[in-house]
């Protein structure tokens, strides 16, 4: 897969890119001054990846997400479904079960209304209709959404609840 961070910007310019491809335990970072890189994953699947850009003064900013081999861009870590009509404030979430070639062993959810959950497929009922940002952390023991060891990919998605249309 080819990754392109050429649209990254930072005050004073970008002098270095630090890439993390979490295809294996203790994956090494790749540091370079050019914004594009090609990486071959060992097998097809979903992988946690990240890139950090560095300014001339050493300050940095990072981003990352889950990529799926053969698909462009970051991919959702979970899907959402809710009933159409009736009690459409109840939402079913379904997360990836494998990230970076390992089973996800811990799921942490923030449903955007001050409550939390766990597990690969939680169901949550919202008290009020509205827009909520749902965040999930999927920990498989390899990599993170940001370069570094041990964290899990973090994914956030805005959902509309109780609008009578479902999602």
116-118 vs 123-125, strand pairing mode: unpaired
For CATH 2.60.40.10, list the domain ranges present in the chain: 2-68, 78-161
The tens-digit pLDDT sequence of the chain (167 residues) is 999 999 888 888 899 999 988 887 777 889 999 999 999 999 999 888 888 889 899 888 887 788 899 998 888 889 999 877 666 889 999 999 988 888 888 899 999 999 999 999 999 999 999 999 999 988 876 554 444 444 567 788 999 998 654 44
Q: Which of 89, 100, 149, 162 is CA-nearest to residue 123?
A: 89
Domain 2-68 has CATH 2.60.40.10: yes
Residues 6+ apart with CB under 8 A from 83: 90, 166
CB 108 within 8 A of CB 151: no
Dihedral sign of CA atoms 103, 108, 111, 117 in order: positive
Cα gap 36→59, rounded to integer Å: 20
Fold designation for 78-161: Immunoglobulin-like (2.60.40)
Cα gap 115→41, rounded to integer Å: 36
């Amino acid at each position: 897969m080819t990754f392109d961070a050429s649209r990254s910007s930072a005050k004073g310019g970008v002098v270095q890119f630090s890439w993390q491809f979490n295809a294996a335990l203790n994956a090494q970072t790749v540091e370079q001054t050019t914004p594009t890189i090609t990486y071959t994953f060992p097998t097809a699947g979903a992988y946690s990846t990240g890139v950090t850009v560095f300014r001339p003064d050493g300050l940095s900013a990072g981003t990352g997400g889950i990529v799926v081999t053969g698909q462009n861009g970051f991919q959702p870590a979970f899907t959402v479904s809710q009933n159409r009509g009736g009690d459409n404030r109840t939402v079913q979430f379904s997360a990836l079960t494998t990230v970076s070639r390992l089973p996800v062993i811990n799921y942490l959810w923030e449903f955007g209304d001050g409550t939390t959950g766990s597990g690969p497929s939680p169901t949550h009922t919202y008290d009020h209709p509205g827009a909520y940002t749902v965040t999930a952390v999927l920990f498989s023991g390899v990599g993170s959404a940001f370069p570094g060891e041990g964290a899990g990919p973090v994914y956030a998605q805005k959902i509309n609840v109780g609008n009578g249309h479902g999602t």
